[in-house]
Amino acid sequence: MHGRRDTRVRSGVADAAVAVRPTGPVPAAAGADTASAGTDASGPAPRVVPAAEPTAVTREQGLAALAAAYRQLTETVAGRPDADLMRPTRCTGWSVVDVLYHVLLDGQRALIALATPDDGVADTDFITYWRGFPGGPGPGEHARAVRIAASAFRPRTLVQLWDETSSAVVRAARSTAADSRLVTQRHVLTLPDLLATLAVEASVHRLDLTVDLPDASDPDPVPLALVRRTLDGLLGAGVPRPDWPDREYALKGTGREPLTPAEQRILDGSRFPLFG
């Protein structure tokens, strides 16, 4: 991050908006500054709001977001012809089935994490976890490995594997104690924080694989709201940012869509994307 902002999660404060927040524009916080009404070559100056202060994710919020993200991803790919599953995505060089295989690997990692408790203190949370995955210059060895591995499966077989694995992750998460500390990616996370990272991953990648699927439904607002909370936490509480709808914030905050000149001016000094 540009500078070091405090992104520690304040425990014990639930964000009730996670379960009900619509996908429309984010309402301005009381007393929030707004951009001037002037225009430039990039169009009207966007409305500005402060990034929200991080609050802890509850077990119920994490479960709801994960179940919704996984369910919608499954619904998006289930029953599609192979030609649809070979369409391009926002991930350079990856087809729909390649993105699905990448998320399948994440589901398999989730099952391992849920079966790997740790007695130590959690060393990261659902926000700081993403500092290890900054936006990079482009695809690397993992991208190539995913393409090769995914090509070994019939697309419908991969859809079935995803369906079975994602359902197993949600069942296992529901039977895991709320105060569990679990190991993944060489980190220790609480159960709610782990579930939040999984939901964010699935929600963003669902946006990736629907770019050439015009009949796909709108993204579920529950996991998207968790993406917003994550991005705000990485940006830093109180830092001015454009008042994006959650979907647009997810795409721009993770480098899927470029910032306009007006947005760049608002975010002057803040590193974007916040994670890739």
First to last CA, the chain: 13
pLDDT of residue 8: 42
CB atoms within 10 A of CB 64: 19
Separation CA 95–CA 87 (nearest Å):
5
Cα separation, 183 vs 24, whole angstroms: 36
Q: What is the mean pLDDT of the chain?
A: 86
Q: Which of 100-114, 124-138, 187-201, 252-266 has the lowest mean pLDDT?
A: 124-138
**Least trusted range by pLDDT, from 131-140, 176-185, 242-251:** 131-140
pLDDT of residue 10 exceeding 50, the answer is no
**Section 35-57 average pLDDT:** 75
Res. 107: pLDDT tops 80: yes
Residue 201: the pLDDT is 98
The pTM (predicted TM-score) of the whole model is: 0.84
pLDDT of residue 31: 31
Q: Which residues of 172-191 are buried (b: 16+ CB within 10 A; e: fewer)?
A: ebeebeeebbbbbeebbbbb
Q: Per the structure block, which two tokens stand in for 168?
A: 């197993």
Class of domain 56-266: mainly alpha
Please give the structure tokens belonging to residue 223.
Answer: 């996991």
Q: What is the pLDDT of residue 45?
A: 83
Q: What does the pLDDT read at residue 20?
A: 26
The predicted structure's pLDDT at residue 137: 52
pLDDT of res. 141: 84
Cβ–Cβ < 8 Å for 273, 47: no
- Domains of the chain, by residue range, sit at 56-266
Question: What is the DSSP code string of 21-75?
Answer: --SSBPPPPTT-----S-EETTEEPPPEEEPPPPBPPPHHHHHHHHHHHHHHHHH
Q: Is pLDDT at 110 greater than 90 in this prediction?
A: yes
Backbone φ and ψ of 264, nearest 5°? -60, -40
Q: How far apart are CA 111 and CA 133, in angstroms?
A: 21
Give pLDDT, residue 42: 52
**pLDDT at residue 276 in the model:** 87
